Amino acid sequence: MTAVDAPARSTGLGSLGARLVPSALSERLVAHEDAARAFRTARHHFIAGDRIDMSALAAELGVDRTSLFRWVGNRDALLGEILWSLAVPTFDAADAATHEHGADRVEGALTRFVHDLITADYFRSWLTREPSRALRILTGGATPVHRRFVAIVERVLEEEIAAGRMTTPLPPHDLATVLVRVAESYAYADLIAGETPDAERAAAAFALVLAATRPAA
């Protein structure tokens, strides 16, 4: 496939995450106005740097805890959807700011995304307050954040491979998983290894992983 007939790159890939990897809460937010209202209120408090307390949230909404849990599930489920809702525009902005193609697009978008995670003060404040919970929600399989991150990186890889701008010895899903784990390792280095989060080191690691994906000249 030539550059002329290569498909245009997609925009707004971050929003695909919840469709590719839905959760009970993500589906409820579309169909249930009370759940959406609770989510919006909790998200506002999270961005403001407030701790999400389910009892206080229920009181603010004028309902009991049982109703709140029926609407949005447990605290981890709610935090997971809040975090993903914030990751969507962050990833989309990082990808939009990357004008390269192929491996350079993947490396650039992921590096910018890691940088934005490291420099988001309200996000880092939450990581500091609840490090164990943060790692569980952000990198574990029980909540959809990690799986959605893998899914949208996989979609970027598939686009670039389909356009003939990348090759890969690994299935796109496997390569996406490796790249996401690299991103997490450097974005959350303070929680994982007691080291300083560093987007430049992440960029070097992405370049190393992606070296084999560049088509031969």
Give the pLDDT of the chain (217 residues) as one tens digit per residue: 444 444 566 767 888 999 999 999 999 999 999 999 999 999 999 999 999 999 999 999 999 999 999 999 999 999 999 999 999 999 999 999 999 999 999 999 999 999 999 999 999 999 999 999 999 999 998 889 999 999 999 999 999 999 999 999 999 999 999 999 999 999 999 999 999 999 999 999 999 999 999 987 6
User: Of the candidates 177, 174, 179, 169, which has an alpha carbon nearest to the alpha carbon of residue 105?
Assistant: 179
Max CA distance (Å), the chain: 64
By the 8 A CB rule, do 197 and 186 touch?
yes
Distance CA 55, CA 129 (A): 19
The pTM score is 0.93
- Going by C-alpha positions, the residue among 96, 110, 87, 94 that lies closest to residue 205 is 110
Total number of domains constituting the chain:
1
Would 156 be classed as within a structural domain? yes
Residue 42 located in a structural domain? no
Mark 66-92 as b/e (b = at least 16 C-beta within 10 Å): eebeebbbebebbbbbbbbbbbbebbb
Flag whether 31 is in a domain: no
Is residue 169 in some structural domain?
yes
CATH code for the domain in which residue 141 is found: 1.10.357
Domain span at residue 147 reads: 13-21+79-213
Query: Is the residue at 176 inside a domain?
Result: yes
In a domain, 49, yes or no: no
Q: How many Å apart are CA 58 and CA 44, to the nearest integer?
A: 14
Residue 102 included in any domain:
yes
Give the sign of the dihedral formed by CA 84, CA 86, CA 92, CA 97.
negative
Residue 198 lies in a domain: yes
